[in-house]
Structure 1
Amino acid sequence: MNAPEIVPDSERRGLIGALPPRLRPFASLMRLDRPIGIWLLFWPCAWSVALAGVGGRWALFGWFAIGAFAMRSAGCVYNDIVDQDLDARVERTRLRPLASKRVTARMAWALAIGLCLIGLYVLTHLTRAAQLVAVASLFLVAAYPFMKRWTWWPQAWLGLVFSWGALVGWPAVTGEIGIPALWLYAGTVAWVIGYDTLYAIQDVEDDALVGVKSSARRLGDQAPAGVAIFYALALVLWGFALWEVRPDWLALLALLPAALHLANQALRADPKDGPGALALFRSNRIAGLLVFMAMLVVGLAAR
């Protein structure tokens, strides 16, 4: 009699648990049980569209949401393909479908390509300038899974990747990249480094065992201070983006709710509390909403 297949708890409950058993490993590859990554990829796109004044193209928010779902899912599959040997050696990730041999690499590649085709369809609804900018991110995306082997700051590379939507949203509205989009992108890179340092706290011990590098390991007990510095830098750079669109001190006040939220994260961060750091990381979907409201108010007021 065959031993029962060992699967993660996430495949026995919630959205993934409601799917037919054969589909559950593929849903796990796409991280359907953890939509936070979709939000974090979507928000920079939405911020950029909002700060550009939308231009009457409200449907862009929907297209970027679909694109964020498809490309984040494809990125997770690709990351697992690259990291399957490492994942098998880490307690938190050893039951992932590829690491546990429940899905073959060929099947995973087919899923990734299918998701990329959805992303390609989304591109057809953008301006030519936005399409070119979006395609230019592919090198950054392809290189990201290898960064934690080469540098103590893979979070910085993730920042370059996950912030790219800030450069795509603006030309999707205006047809060209503007200075505000560059400031927005720079600030978002800092934001990503901050929140991904929080995320990395939960893996510090396992990462040390397998030799994986991260900003959380490099900063050690100073990780909360590092998060605070990156969040502060993000707010300053976002302020420059707002000022470019509407040079008014009142416009900067639109960032106050987001600033308070991010400050609360940094003050509550504990380098010894992995579950707590994960909860703070996930709260960035709310931070994203607060920044979106700031960008939308200022963007619409300037038009």
Structure 2
Amino acid sequence: MVTTPEIVPDTEYRGLIRLIPAAARPYALLARFDRPIGWWLLFWPGAWAIALAGGAVRRWDLLLWFLLGAIAMRGAGCVYNDIVDRDLDRQVARTRGRPLASGAVSLKAAWLWLVLLCLIGLIVLVQLNPLAAMVALASLALVAAYPFMKRITWWPQAWLGLVFSWAALVGWAAIARELPPPALLLYVGSIFWVIGYDTIYALQDIEDDALVGVRSSARRLGDNVRLGVAAFYAVALTLWGAALWQIRPDKFVLAALAPAAIHLLWQVGTLTPGDGDNALRRFRSNRFAGLLVFAACFVVGSTAF
């Protein structure tokens, strides 16, 4: 059973956030700039695609543009999500301190902040070739629908997977100007990775979600949550392995994924579903998991092209 002291507040004044002027601080918190894990998780699938398509060295600048885009658009997504969920957020212990839910930021100001972040995303968009830009724009419908998924399905984590993995398609199109089977395998594998780690994240709110009627994969899986996360990760690794194999059909390339597989196995093996702090730490460790998958894509992509 998760107790209140174990719940990490969703709004924290940490690190560089403390150096921001007080008037601007709520806007930084609204965009979750105090929690970089979100934009790392949004960035990695695009970085994997760039690396596996053979462009990590030749188009290193694209990695930086994708990183900027991940920071801006993850921030925009958080602002939009909080606009939609402001009433629900007031009912959940972890989220009631969010700037919109607490009244620190007005609804009008939040919309203006959202537009500004989207304009930064637009700067990144114009750096892409036409196909990559079209693929990127196609994600907007998925992004707009995501906050409503927790109201209509037990698997909002699957929808988040569609959104947070989309950069894999954009990244591949930006390098190769096409979307071959390896790009699709990488994308679908990322979807299952996201379902796995966001199920872990949802364990923090499982009791509050039950009280307010919010659905999640963590609630649906119940006592089988560890088995479920293990299955999602196993499918992700299988699809990633297939993507690497199509780029370089050599049994040794699969060994490149071994460090990532070991790390994901550690997550499942040490996960304690009733401990919110344990779940949060395992969730955050996916920043490192993403780096390990990037290393595998870099090694295979750099030697295959």
Asked if these proteins are the same fold (TM beyond 0.5), I'd say yes
Counterpart amino acid of residue 17 in structure 2:
I
Deviation of the 1:14 alpha carbon: 2.4
TM-score, structure 2 as length reference: 0.95
User: Aligned residue for 2:183?
Assistant: 181
User: Aligned residue for 2:31?
Assistant: 30
Once residues 98 and 273 of structure 1 are traced to their aligned partners in structure 2, the CA distance between those partners, rounded to angstroms, is 27
User: Aligned residue for 1:102?
Assistant: 104
Once residues 12 and 243 of structure 2 are traced to their aligned partners in structure 1, the CA distance between those partners, rounded to angstroms, is 42
Q: After superposition, what is the alpha-carbon deviation per residue over 1:161-211, rounded to whole angstroms, capped at 9, x for unaligned?
A: 000011010110011111110000010000000000000001001101110
Once residues 223 and 10 of structure 1 are traced to their aligned partners in structure 2, the CA distance between those partners, rounded to angstroms, is 26
Once residues 20 and 301 of structure 1 are traced to their aligned partners in structure 2, the CA distance between those partners, rounded to angstroms, is 47
User: Aligned residue for 1:165?
Assistant: 167
What CA RMSD, in Å, does the superposition of the two structures yield over aligned residues?
1.1
User: Aligned residue for 1:114?
Assistant: 116
User: Aligned residue for 1:46?
Assistant: 47
SS in 2 for 1:106: helix
Q: How do 1:135-214 and structure 2 match up within 5 A? A: 135-214=137-216
User: Aligned residue for 2:5?
Assistant: none
User: Aligned residue for 1:272?
Assistant: 274
Count of matched residue pairs: 296
Task: Provide the identity percentage.
Answer: 65
Deviation of the 1:89 alpha carbon: 0.9
User: Does the 8 A contact of 1:10 with 1:17 survive in 2?
Assistant: no
Counterpart amino acid of residue 16 in structure 1:
I
Counterpart amino acid of residue 237 in structure 2:
L
Q: 1:261 aligns with which of 260, 263, 274?
A: 263
User: Aligned residue for 2:4?
Assistant: none
CA gap 1:81/1:125 in 2 versus in 1, 3 angstroms: same
User: Does the 8 A contact of 2:10 with 2:97 survive in 1?
Assistant: no
CA gap 1:183/1:9 in 2 versus in 1, 3 angstroms: closer
Deviation of the 1:19 alpha carbon: 1.2
My pick for the range that moved more, 47-56 or 130-139, is 47-56
Deviation of the 1:9 alpha carbon: 9.4
CA gap 1:9/1:294 in 2 versus in 1, 3 angstroms: closer
SS in 2 for 1:293: helix
Once residues 13 and 163 of structure 2 are traced to their aligned partners in structure 1, the CA distance between those partners, rounded to angstroms, is 32
Q: After superposition, what is the alpha-carbon deviation per residue over 1:230-286, rounded to whole angstroms, capped at 9, x for unaligned?
A: 000000000110011001101111000000000000111121111101100000000
Once residues 274 and 9 of structure 1 are traced to their aligned partners in structure 2, the CA distance between those partners, rounded to angstroms, is 13
User: Does the 8 A contact of 1:71 with 1:119 survive in 2?
Assistant: yes
Q: After superposition, what is the alpha-carbon deviation per residue over 1:26-80, rounded to whole angstroms, capped at 9, x for unaligned?
A: 0110111100001000000000000000071111100000000000000000000
Pair 1:60-2:62 in alignment: yes
Unpaired runs of at least 5, structure 1: 1-7
Counterpart amino acid of residue 20 in structure 2:
L
My pick for the range that moved more, 88-97 or 154-163, is 88-97
User: Does the 8 A contact of 2:188 with 2:236 survive in 1?
Assistant: yes
User: Aligned residue for 1:217?
Assistant: 219
Pair 1:236-2:238 in alignment: yes
TM-score, structure 1 as length reference: 0.96
User: Does the 8 A contact of 1:30 with 1:74 survive in 2?
Assistant: yes
CA gap 1:78/1:10 in 2 versus in 1, 3 angstroms: closer
SS in 2 for 1:93: coil
Per chain length, whose mean CA-contact separation is higher, i.e. which structure has more relative contact order (CA < 8 Å, sep 6+)? 2
Once residues 226 and 203 of structure 1 are traced to their aligned partners in structure 2, the CA distance between those partners, rounded to angstroms, is 18
User: Aligned residue for 2:86?
Assistant: 84
SS in 2 for 1:203: helix
Deviation of the 1:218 alpha carbon: 0.6
Deviation of the 1:13 alpha carbon: 4.0
User: Aligned residue for 1:20?
Assistant: 21
Unpaired runs of at least 5, structure 2: 1-8
My pick for the range that moved more, 71-80 or 11-20, is 11-20
Counterpart amino acid of residue 261 in structure 2:
A
